[in-house]
Amino acid sequence: MKLPRRVTLLVLLVSSLALSQEHYPRLLEKVDLSQIRHFEPGVIPASTLAYDPLIDSIIHQVNLDSLVATVRILSGEDSVTIGNSRVLIRSRGSDRGGGLAAEYLKQTLTSYNLEVFDQQYSTTGRNIYGKRTGYLYPEKEYIICAHYDAVDAYCADDNASGVAAVLEAARVLSGYDPKYTVVYALWDEEEQGMVGSQYYASEASSAQEQIQGVLDMDMLAWDGNNDNLADIHTRNTANSNDLATLMVVVNYLYGLPVKPVIYNPGTWQSDHSVFWTTAGARSC
């Protein structure tokens, strides 16, 4: 697996690098960026955002070695200590009910001083997520997520890469107090039809939780032709287009080494789609 030389936190949080289009049942039409709200061809979207040295410092806290290490552990390349045992995560198949991978995720999120939840929703399904409550708007939450289950052994890109991004975001951001509640979620059974994320979204809707945005990381790492394209999937639903526009602005402000390509309408075949269709949820 090859990762970009300079991987930054905001790139990981706001992009979905799904460059292997065989992941989808059909090729997605590339939509011109002018179709995104407030965006004109060749012009950066209108925005009140300005360069912020704090954001820049957060970006530079991202550690490429940390990302690679997580991917290697989740894809069974390197062993890891879970509890008091040294183990090798040989599979993340959905039929194992989370297994060693889920325990590794719990242990890692706990080490970042997050409130950690083990959501066992069936005999085979198990979501793991950590939460940091916002000091100003604790009732409003943003979700940074990825699915950790896989269809085969290894599966470094689909989706150990997305999980690594979520864990790295949790590591870096755990040193800051957020205004809004932030949830770092790792879903199970995405490969079975977004089962884990659908369960969470349905429960959140029933509880009338105020989800403000969802950033879903799926297949982030593999860039087969080194073109640095960053695929952003959005839809004319809730605030998705606003978040997509924000990604383009952030990429410009901080000189990130990726080229955003926006798909609108984006694919339904990943966990973000359940938040498009579940009442009260917003996602990008």
Q: Tell whether 135 is covered by a domain.
A: yes
265 upstream amide cis, omega within 30 of 0? yes
The pLDDT of residue 26 is above 70:
no
How high is the pLDDT of residue 37? 42
Q: Tell whether 192 is covered by a domain.
A: yes
Q: How far apart are CA 186 and CA 145, in angstroms?
A: 6
What tens digit of pLDDT does each residue of 43-55 get? 556 667 788 898 8
Q: Tell whether 234 is covered by a domain.
A: yes
Q: Tell whether 172 is covered by a domain.
A: yes
Would the pTM count as exceeding 0.75? yes
Question: Taking Cα atoms as reference points, which of 235, 216, 214, 227 lies closest to residue 35?
Answer: 235
Confidence of residue 249 (pLDDT cuts 50, 70, 90): confident
What tens digit of pLDDT does each residue of 131-157 get? 999 999 999 999 999 999 999 889 999
Structural domain count of the chain: 1
Q: How far apart are CA 232 and CA 260, in angstroms?
A: 7
Burial environment of residue 223 by CB neighbours within 10 A (0 to 12, 13 to 18, 19 or more): middle
Q: Tell whether 282 is covered by a domain.
A: no
Q: What is the mean pLDDT of residues 3-14?
A: 38
Q: Tell whether 65 is covered by a domain.
A: yes
For 116, the 3-state DSSP assignment is strand
Confidence of residue 187 (pLDDT cuts 50, 70, 90): very high
How high is the pLDDT of residue 170? 97
How high is the pLDDT of residue 282? 53
Q: What is the DSSP letter of 264?
A: S
Q: How far apart are CA 13 and CA 22, in angstroms?
A: 23
CA-based Rg of the chain, rounded to a whole angstrom?
Answer: 18
CB atoms near residue 215 (< 10 Å): 22
Q: How far apart are CA 44 and CA 28, in angstroms?
A: 24
Domain that holds residue 106: 9-18+28-277
Q: Tell whether 100 is covered by a domain.
A: yes
Report DSSP letters for 15-72, one per residue. ------GGGSSSPPPPPPGGGSTT-BTTBPPP-S----HHHHHHHTT--HHHHHHHHH
Q: How far apart are CA 31 and CA 90, in angstroms?
A: 39
Sign for the CA dihedral angle at 58, 60, 63, 64 comes to positive
What tens digit of pLDDT does each residue of 273-282 get? 999 988 555 5
Q: Tell whether 284 is covered by a domain.
A: no
How high is the pLDDT of residue 148? 96
Q: What is the mean pLDDT of residues 183-195?
A: 95
CATH of the domain at 133: 3.40.630.10
The chain-wide mean pLDDT, for the chain, equals 82
